[in-house]
Amino acid sequence: MVRSMLGLLLLAATTPLEAQRPLPSVPQRLGLEEAVALAQRHNPNWLRAANDLTPASWAARNALTEMLLPSVSASAGINYTGAGSQTFLSQEFSQPSSTIGSNYSLRLNWTLSGRTLSQPATARAQQHAAEATLDGTANNIRTGITQQYLAVLQAREQVGLAEVQVRRNQEFLRLADARFQVGQATQLDVRQAQVALGQSEVQLLQNQQLVVVSILRLFEQMGIPAPDDPNVVSLSDTFPVTEPTWALTDLLREADASNPDVLAFDAQASAARWSARAARSQWLPTVSLSAGWSGFTQQFTNTSPLVANAISDAQLASQRNQAECQFTNSAWLNAGETPLDCSALAFTQAQEDAIRSQVAARNSVWPFDFTRQPFQASLSISLPLFTQFNRVAQISQAQAQAEDAQYAADGRRLQLRTLVSEAYYSLRTAYATIGIQVTNREAAGEQLRLATERYRVGSGTFFELLDAQLAAQRAEADYINAVYAYHRSVAALEAAVGRPLR
């Protein structure tokens, strides 16, 4: 049942909580299994344990992907630089126009170390510990619900016994008053009968209150509010009394293998051992691999200085070309040769317009016409040689925690053997006690019947009747207590073994 509900609980754990968790309608007839199922959906301790399982599961996935896959990071941005000049060392750099720019970067990083190699197994062990803790919580909740369910049944049995006692005292008062009317009894008998009736009515009220309180506590353990009138809820399950036939050796062996609390301690010890291995892996080298792609844009907000510089350069180049052309015509041409047309090298308006268009086209790059930077990659290996004994201290601490966790598991196993044996012997004692209390109840009932008849015919006193009544009441209460001590012992044995036994 625990495993079948786990997926639903994990889905609910990843969903944002509303202002108030919806609660089911209050059942009018409540069986034990229904009460346990409601507790496993609404009990805060269960929900907290189930909620802790989600990060443990993600931690296991993260540890595996961290070892196998690189991390990927991407960044982008824009920038602005105003016009002006700045000095670097003895050089002054001036910028006639403000600029706007953008950039991007994509990086891959992958690290392989002793920690990343051991972390997947460590995270899986921690996940198993969380699952075992969840099973242990479910077992504890079932035990608490069962014990409180029995407490409600016992309280209602005591109410029934108190009601019987009230009816008896009413009959004794009527009998004492009738004998007083005919002169066969004194006023003292009547007053004693009235006191006994009042005491039994008070006991009835107290037992009825105990029923209400027991139901309230049952609903508290279920994790849902009780109805305004708890008495409207009836418990539908009954529990037979049968002779225990289990063998103690079989129960001890089964508890050692399947008790959720012991399995949780074992899982925690396993997780602690893997943590110690992870700490020792710090002696291994670390291999790091990174790769990156990036690009940028830079655009001037005012292209006039760029255009002016480009036109000035083009004009100077035209003038140099014309001068060279004229020198060639004057110094290198032979007589009769046709001179070069130097006017064709003059700077024209068409060239100026072309320069303006080219500068505008080259400048219009913001924000996505990136200039790619060269691809970058690096591989490094590092090995810490001396860490001021920090590494040794961490390993020692992790090893001590692993040993402590194993000692705790061993101690829990010893405690479990005691719990199983104690519950087993308590169960056998309770079963034997029931047989004795049955005989005592029958004897006390016969004693009360005889005392009543003796008082009715005038051969007995009212004090004898009250003593017989008290003995009968005590015997009936002892019988009820013995029966529910038996049931509680069965519940305790089931909790120690880790599963229902009936």
CATH number assigned to the domain comprising residue 117: 1.20.1600.10
Does residue 198 belong to any structural domain of this protein?
yes
**33 shares a domain with 163:** yes
Identify the sign of the CA torsion 451, 457, 461, 463: positive
Lowest model confidence (mean pLDDT) among 85-99, 218-232, 261-275, 407-421: 85-99
**364 shares a domain with 222:** no
**348 shares a domain with 265:** no
Does residue 455 belong to any structural domain of this protein?
yes
Q: Does residue 83 come out as left (phi exceeding 0), alpha (psi in the -120 to 50 range) or beta?
A: beta
Over range 397-420, report the average pLDDT. Answer: 90
The Cα 502–Cα 491 span in angstroms is 10
**392 shares a domain with 359:** no
pLDDT score recorded for residue 268: 86
Does residue 153 belong to any structural domain of this protein?
yes
Of 319, 345, 370, which one is at a domain's C-terminal end?
Answer: 370
**337 shares a domain with 248:** no
| Band of residue 336 on the pLDDT scale cut at 50, 70, 90 | low
The Cα 297–Cα 100 span in angstroms is 8
Tell me if 259 sits within 8 A of 40, measured CB to CB. Answer: no
Instruction: Identify which has the larger pLDDT, 240 or 339.
Output: 240
Of 310, 341, 370, which one is at a domain's C-terminal end?
Answer: 370
pLDDT exceeds 90 at position 481: yes
| Band of residue 415 on the pLDDT scale cut at 50, 70, 90 | very high
Highest mean pLDDT among 57-66, 110-119, 411-420: 411-420
The Cα 327–Cα 77 span in angstroms is 54
Does residue 88 belong to any structural domain of this protein?
no
**394 shares a domain with 268:** yes
**341 shares a domain with 260:** no
Does residue 157 belong to any structural domain of this protein?
yes
pLDDT score recorded for residue 502: 78
pTM score, whole prediction:
0.72
| Band of residue 115 on the pLDDT scale cut at 50, 70, 90 | confident
List, for residues 255-284, the tens digit of each pLDDT value.
998 888 888 888 888 888 888 888 888 788
HSE value, Cβ hemisphere, 13 Å, CA-based, for 154: 20
Does residue 100 belong to any structural domain of this protein?
no
pLDDT score recorded for residue 212: 94
CB atoms within 10 A of CB 339: 11
**148 shares a domain with 34:** yes
pLDDT score recorded for residue 382: 87
Burial of residue 413 (number of CB atoms within 10 Å: 0-12, 13-18, 19+): middle
**196 shares a domain with 234:** yes
pLDDT score recorded for residue 89: 65
Tell me if 294 sits within 8 A of 373, measured CB to CB. Answer: yes
Share of the chain above pLDDT 90, in %: 30
Over range 5-10, report the average pLDDT. Answer: 37
pLDDT score recorded for residue 22: 52
| Band of residue 411 on the pLDDT scale cut at 50, 70, 90 | very high
pLDDT exceeds 60 at position 3: no
List, for residues 227-237, the tens digit of each pLDDT value.
888 888 889 88
Q: Which DSSP helix (H) or strand (E) runs through 281? A: none
**132 shares a domain with 252:** yes
Over range 56-85, report the average pLDDT. Answer: 86
Over range 379-387, report the average pLDDT. Answer: 84
**397 shares a domain with 349:** no
Lowest model confidence (mean pLDDT) among 160-164, 379-383, 462-466: 462-466
The Cα 212–Cα 315 span in angstroms is 105
The CA distances from residue 238 to 146, 198, 241, 426, in Å, are 12, 32, 10, 21
The pLDDT mean for the chain works out to 85
Over range 85-106, report the average pLDDT. Answer: 80
Does residue 18 belong to any structural domain of this protein?
no
Of 125, 116, 122, the C-alpha closest to 67 is 116
Domain count, the chain: 2
Q: Which domain holds residue 152?
A: 2-12+27-69+113-285+387-497
| Band of residue 477 on the pLDDT scale cut at 50, 70, 90 | very high
Does residue 76 belong to any structural domain of this protein?
no
Of 489, 491, 492, the C-alpha closest to 432 is 489
Q: What is the β-pairing status of strands 71-81 and 29-30?
A: unpaired
**266 shares a domain with 394:** yes
Q: Which DSSP helix (H) or strand (E) runs through 207? A: helix 187-222
Of 337, 370, 403, which one is at a domain's C-terminal end?
Answer: 370
Over range 144-162, report the average pLDDT. Answer: 93
**CA angle, 174 as apex, 170 and 180 as ends, to 5°?**
140
List, for residues 35-69, the tens digit of each pLDDT value.
999 998 898 888 888 888 888 888 888 888 888 88
